[in-house]
Structure 1
Amino acid sequence: MNTISKAEVRAQTVRLLRSLRLHLTTPTGGHAPLLGDSPRAWLRRLPYVVALIMQASLIPTGIAALVGYYNVALPIAGALTIAQTAPLLLAITRPLAAWWISAATLVTTASITARYDQHGGTWPWTAPMILAYVFLLIALALRESRATLISVWIATILLTLLTTTLGFPHSDDGTTMLLVALGGAALLLGWAVQDRTEARRLLAEQEHISEAERERRTLLEERARIARELHDVVAHHMSVIAVQAASAPYRITGVPAEATEEFTAIAGTARESLAEMRRLLGVLRSEESAAEKVPQPGIAQLPQLIETVGRAGVPAELAVDPGLAEAVPQAVGLSAYRIVQEALANVVRHAPGSKVRVCLVDEGPTLLLTVVNTPPPKHTESLEASMEGTGQGLIGMRERARLVGGRLETGPMPDGGYKVAAVLPLETPREKPA
């Protein structure tokens, strides 16, 4: 039983050492420079500046400490100090390789200083060496995975135990435990910064996805609303077709039997189309409002809309060509009404107190619709902060114009006002022959 237990312990130890070696030899951060993906140039250069400043200050102090406290020869002291501080520059792109160089230098330094009598300072490493190692661990923690950081900390503990053995008969003055504590704190700090950076990146991605999803949902809601309103427009014409086709044999004398059958088929097809549209409308129409079942507005209802906006504190003028309300197709009139409605709502939210002029001009094959508002008075403030909304009104207006084959243009005016212009076709374009 004891033999099996020792074998299991030995196997677990071997697996632990293999895992430790794997994490200490396989970098996970790649070779991209630290802060290399920052959009600011000074941030991309910051790691190199810090590394050079650290080297310029630690190399002379480290050499002086080795020579003064241990009487180490100047060439050896210079080589050890440079080997300990040079990895700071390498750590910007290859932190794990830099750690191996630094750790090997610490072991070499401990084996050398153990042969000399100490005349002050710390043993087995000088303060500049400890600072260089701690700063290197911070750079390592900003790039590598958690498993690698834990492996590095365990290796640091083993390194301190090894140096204590090499330093016999020197007595440890707490420097090795200080290195372990500072190393753990540096790894934990870098770990926290890395997690915070990753959390901010994921949050930015989620906000981008949410914004795109919000725009998509707004577009789908507007399309569903257009589909419901389009049903009311098309259903009226289909009902007229069905009634005219069904009553034609009774209104017109001398209709041949073949024509009567044709009228009956047309009426049946129209009724089937109405039934299909009603089934589709049952999916699109929600239960929240019965107002959608009332007749849809058009150009003839624009005066009431202007009057409503005027009561909200936005004086508006309406100019419509004579006879335009009767000449415009119902779908185009509905789209024009909704575009004007959304444009006036934006004026109320963003420019309260400004004057608005709405113009509808018949230009032959097209309807030119413009809504122009003047700059708001200086003493007024936007009501957008105190009103709820999706902020996607322009999407709905563009979808309205696209529905009838038109186009929409919006933008600020030179005097500080805003303009919404739509060009809507008054005739359905005929298909070109193949």
Structure 2
Amino acid sequence: MSEQEYRWLLPSAMGGPEPHARPGRTPAPAGQGAARPRRTLRDWVVDLLMFLIAAAIGLAAVEDASELGDSRLVLVFDQVLGALACCALWLRRRWPTAVALALTVLSVAVPAASGAMGIALFGVTVHRPFKVAGPLSAAGIAVGVLQALVRPDPAVSFRVAVVVTLVFTLLIFGWGMFVRARRQLVLSLRERTVRAETEAALRAEQAQRLAREAIAREMHDVLAHRLTLLSVHAGALEFRPDAPPAEVARAAGVIRDSAHEALQDLREIIGVLRSPGAADDDRPQPTLATLDALVAESREAGAKVTLDNRIADPDAVPAAVGRTVYRIAQEALTNARKHAPGAEVAVTVTGRAGDGVTVTVHNPAPDGDVPRVPGSGQGLIGLTERAQLAGGRLDHGLEPDGGFRITAWLPWAP
């Protein structure tokens, strides 16, 4: 924590060096480099107040000296040097340590400079570390002792003068250290607040990013299934323009239905984007029990799919696990239609509470040439992430016979 940060955070009522970037300050003219900024109105008021306090203490010291019978020359000497000491306080913002050291030395023989010395010592204690303020305060105590020897007051004993000097200096030092510690505490709390706000902003940004990724994954899982049906049947019509009218009509019907359902799914996802809380709660989510409907839909589109669901009660499977199984099967069927059209796809679901759920989707190598359907490869990456988020794992790859297999395991608590 720098000294400038302390001064910027909580400027001392006693003045002191001010930071260059303090708010409200008039900036230095261009071309002057590190020229100090001008004082604000508050700075002028504080400096004038400190000057008047030091001058009042100095006048009181001069009056005491005149009552003690000091010569006129000594009194003039005290008045002139005391006035110079008070004027030196106007320089303490730029050279705090130097001004305090000079006033400390001057106070040995000039009691009228004692007030200015105390103000300068307080500023150093507030704005400088202990390794600087401590020795200067000790020097102030020593100066009080020497002053009692050089300019003794007959009305006050030497012992009392030393005690008063010690109490006065320790009071200034303790007050300055208290103000410095308070500034450090306030600055620490301020830094914690800024850090907490920054962390909160980062958490909000991370939550938004995760939400966007979840929405993107949902869009891919939902829309890819529909749009792949469009692509496959449109490609079949393109490669077989001489197909019987019944097959053309069936393909056109599938394209129409898939486009309609894709629009419906898109509307639901847009509803989630517009109102994430309400729309996501109201929109029905797929579960393991709806896996039969997914397979039936694929069969109606012309795909050869067999489902072997060995879980006796699909409704007993947790909703999150069932939804993940549904999405894995959906993406696997989509990939099979894209890359192995006409091949028979086998979907197997096994498991029980405590052992987890295992879903396997396998298709053999396609027969003949396969029309190229563009793909980004993000579907399998998304499935792997989805399985990992659910606490499971997913493996996929080519079989020795050219087929493709996807196997996922998901936890199912007993």
Q: TM-score range by the shorter chain?
A: 0.3 to 0.5
Rg larger in 1 or in 2? 2
TM-score by length of 1: 0.45
TM-score by length of 2: 0.47
